[in-house]
Structure 1
Amino acid sequence: MEHDRLRIAMVSVEEPSAGQRVHVAGLSAALACRGHAVTAYTRLESALSPDRERTELGYDVVRLSAGPVVPIDENEMISQIGRLAELLGREWRDAPPDVVHAHGWTSGLASVLAEHRGTPVVQTYYGLGGSVRRSLAERIVGREVARVAAMSSNEVLALVRTGVGRSRISVVPTGVDVQMFTPWGRTARRGTRSRIVTAAPQRGLADLVKVLSHVEDAELLIIGGPGKRRIGQDPGLRRLRALAVDAGVADRVVFTGAVSRERTIALLRSADVVVCAARCEPVGHVSLEAMACGVPVVATAVGALADSVVDGVTGLHVPPGRPRLLAKALCGLLGDGVRRQELGAAARDRACARYSWDRIAADTLRAYERAGVRTAGPARRAGQDSAPRR
């Protein structure tokens, strides 16, 4: 079916996690690529940033001046909710959007408090729980919005426990740019050891470092974190380095620090296996990037990872906090090149079929429609590819 051109307001005012940042940018670009008018509203955090700008990906960004012009934490953000709601209401007074899509619970609060003439609000949480105040706010938002977009099947169950009716929930996972993340192209150089790649920060990295002592002739590459010059100052990475020394594997653990997207892709391609050993993972974008690069993923069966990685088909599931089982899975895969190739090929196919940004945009539009938004089909721009570049 054909969709009218929608005016979509993406609200993401809190300091986002890496997964949230990737999701908001990728989804905004994919919807803009389908011909919709997308404006992302965030909070002004730097005096060097413009109040308004049009991105190369086809959507607009509006930065709202609420509170100090620096990044602020969750507690400080709560004191700015009223101001953000007021500013959003002003933005929408003369030209209300067709749908408001709030990302994160503080964005949800600001969105439902803003005056927007009955415009439906769709909420994405990026994980639930934490402080009592946050849990209460999440329940309020869940009750007030028109629909909730859960990022995984596990999140659906958690939402139902908070009181959101199952009929008001759509599953809309994050996506991956399958034209950028591919098995083909430049690959990072490596030695003769097997290469295991993972990403920082995530809970569960300590388990993986400990496991390395039981995986012979393999190196562990940890991508992400602070810049390379500041790695030694990061408390979390310092603890991991000390743990590697205690385990006798310090010479086989490499911290890359923050790297460019192009370098990340080259490192993922160089991996024999990518590990996502998080104790909790609401988004799971790293697993999708690895899958799109044709690399098998060993993942804890939690959150979004339980959906994206199909056990025995695109990778392997292991229970969280079970290092012996993680070691067994890694040893088995690293010793079987044929199976790695089979899993990697299936992983690439699944990433393209289920998690391309165009597919996620279509899922999102269906969620908007079920929230009461007048939608229909993609109003693509002539000559434009439906897969956004990040």
Structure 2
Amino acid sequence: MTIVKQASGLSIALVSEHASPLAVLGGVDAGGQNVHVAHLAAALAQRGHRVTVYTRKDAPDLPDRVVSRPGVEVRHVPAGPTWQLPKDELLPYMAEFGRFLVGEWQARPPDVVHSHFWMSGVAALSACRELDLPLAHTYHALGTVKRRHQRSSDTSPAERISCETEVGERCDRVIATCRDEVAELAEMGVPAHRVTVVPCGVDTDRFAPWGRAADRGGCRQLLLQVGRLVPRKGAAVSIAALPWLPDAELLIAGGPPPELIDQEPEVRRLRALARAAGVGDRVRFLGGVPCEEVPPLLRAADVVLCPADYEPFGIVPLEAMGCGTPVVASAVGGQLDTVADPGTGRLVPPSDPAALARATAALLENPAQRAACGAAGRRRVLTRYGWGRVAASTEAVYQEVVARRPAAVTEPA
């Protein structure tokens, strides 16, 4: 891929209304998007660009500006109350967010704007249309998919899908994270020729086979699931698979801090399922795990399970593959792109405990195959998903949308 860079780099505005790159991970609305924005901003800065991330001010003591690293500034936008709100309650404040962006950009407009998540797209689109700025957009998740899977449990605003469609139709380029998303967007009316696929990335130095591994506690076969404790992540499917895996123990990492884990309703539900299946003594809930403890856990596991009902992208398979650990994942969303079956792991139908158990058992019974999958996964991550490569591909999209914009015309005196 050939990239034409400006001598002084681009001025890039990343708009991420609820997902701050400075946030502590593990909360209900703090996860993969926060990581994506933080690492993308850092990798773009490393390529010589000047990056400002605009995120909502959700605490009264947050400073207006924070320099998170050389070349990256985080701007806290006053839009709505200065406390944390669930992201599904933020839409009424996006007009205020957009007006703030207009005020910021009138004097010093960025070369390109890149919004993340649909509400950021709403705010950024209004500002970019008023100031005639180029806009790229990444959804991270689509309302059509969420509604199809969660149905009456979907707490998204009623306007979400119509807003997502408008953003897709009016922005200069959609940056999708996987091929499955391109098909979903086409169903919404956003044609494939307006979409470029650039996957999420992974820190290949941090998520690597070398380094400390967590204590297995004498466990003969160790399975691991990492992620938010919400039903769609499929922990119930992993538990239901355990009766077919009599020598395996399952660790589930995610959710509230360990001292609060017993109060978590989802943990109580999952523990009841485990007891009913006769595997209650083989399932352990770790609670929220500090970021630095995730790679050791991934290295310690024999197999990492990713059995989500749906997964817009799914960063955990990449992190596991980076650590050289094979993955068994549901064949949905971004996991169809990231997990190469049979090379780096296995893909199974979603919501199918028996299929999950069969694929996992085959790997557990064959150490040589596990090692081969782990090595192949590491190679795949290095060649496709490092943040340097992701930033270069994103930069190419920026250069394209900037180049396609007509140059400003100066009226004769």
* Structure-1-length-normalised TM-score: 0.93
1:46 shift after superposition: 1.0
Show the counterpart of 1:331: 361
Q: Using the alignment, how far apart are the partners of 2:219 and 2:115 within structure 1? A: 47
Show the counterpart of 2:193: 167
1:200 partnered with 2:204: no
Q: Using the alignment, how far apart are the partners of 1:189 and 1:14 within structure 2? A: 35
Alignment equivalent of 1:42, drawn from 55, 70, 75: 55
1:9 partnered with 2:35: no
1:200 shift after superposition: 2.9
Q: What letter corresponds to residue 354 of structure 1 in structure 2?
A: R
Q: What letter corresponds to residue 3 of structure 1 in structure 2?
A: K
Show the counterpart of 1:71: 84
Show the counterpart of 2:134: 120
1:97 partnered with 2:110: yes
1:206–1:353 distance in 2 versus 1, CA, 3 Å? same
Q: Deviations over 1:63-84 (max 9, x none)?
A: 0111111122345311111100
1:192 shift after superposition: 3.2
Q: What letter corresponds to residue 54 of structure 2 in structure 1?
A: Y
Show the counterpart of 1:106: 119
1:17–1:24 distance in 2 versus 1, CA, 3 Å? same
Q: Using the alignment, how far apart are the partners of 1:213 and 1:288 within structure 2? A: 27
1:13–1:273 distance in 2 versus 1, CA, 3 Å? same
1:48 shift after superposition: 2.7
Indicate conservation of the 8 Å contact 1:188/1:267, yes or no: yes
Q: Using the alignment, how far apart are the partners of 1:253 and 1:110 within structure 2? A: 43
Q: Using the alignment, how far apart are the partners of 1:304 and 1:57 within structure 2? A: 31
Alignment equivalent of 2:242, drawn from 212, 224, 232: 212
**Which one has more relative contact order, counting CA pairs under 8 Å at least 6 apart?**
1
Show the counterpart of 2:409: none
Q: Using the alignment, how far apart are the partners of 1:58 and 1:213 within structure 2? A: 52
Q: What SS is found at the alignment partner of 1:101? A: strand
1:307 partnered with 2:333: no
Q: What letter corresponds to residue 67 of structure 1 in structure 2?
A: G
Q: Using the alignment, how far apart are the partners of 2:248 and 2:284 within structure 1? A: 11
1:329 shift after superposition: 0.5
* Structure-2-length-normalised TM-score: 0.88
Alignment equivalent of 1:51, drawn from 52, 64, 78: 64
1:139 partnered with 2:153: no
1:271 partnered with 2:301: yes
1:373 shift after superposition: 4.5
1:252 shift after superposition: 1.1
Show the counterpart of 1:83: 96
1:35 shift after superposition: 1.1
Q: What letter corresponds to residue 189 of structure 2 in structure 1?
A: G
Show the counterpart of 1:381: none
Show the counterpart of 1:353: 383
1:57 shift after superposition: 6.4
Q: Which runs of 4+ in 1 moved over 4 A?
A: none
Q: Using the alignment, how far apart are the partners of 2:374 and 2:106 within structure 1? A: 50
Show the counterpart of 1:383: none
Q: Using the alignment, how far apart are the partners of 1:371 and 1:80 within structure 2? A: 28
Segment drifting more, 245-254 vs 355-364: 245-254
Segment drifting more, 319-328 vs 10-19: 10-19
Q: What SS is found at the alignment partner of 2:399? A: helix
Q: Using the alignment, how far apart are the partners of 1:99 and 1:321 within structure 2? A: 41
1:91 shift after superposition: 1.0
1:208–1:75 distance in 2 versus 1, CA, 3 Å? closer
Show the counterpart of 2:208: 182
Q: 5+ unaligned residues in a row in structure 1: which ranges?
A: 376-390
Indicate conservation of the 8 Å contact 1:98/1:373, yes or no: no
CA RMSD of aligned residues (A): 1.5
Q: 5+ unaligned residues in a row in structure 2: which ranges?
A: 20-28, 148-155, 406-413
1:118 shift after superposition: 1.6
For residues 221-236 of structure 1, the aligned pairs below 5 Å read 221-236=251-266
Indicate conservation of the 8 Å contact 2:111/2:402, yes or no: no
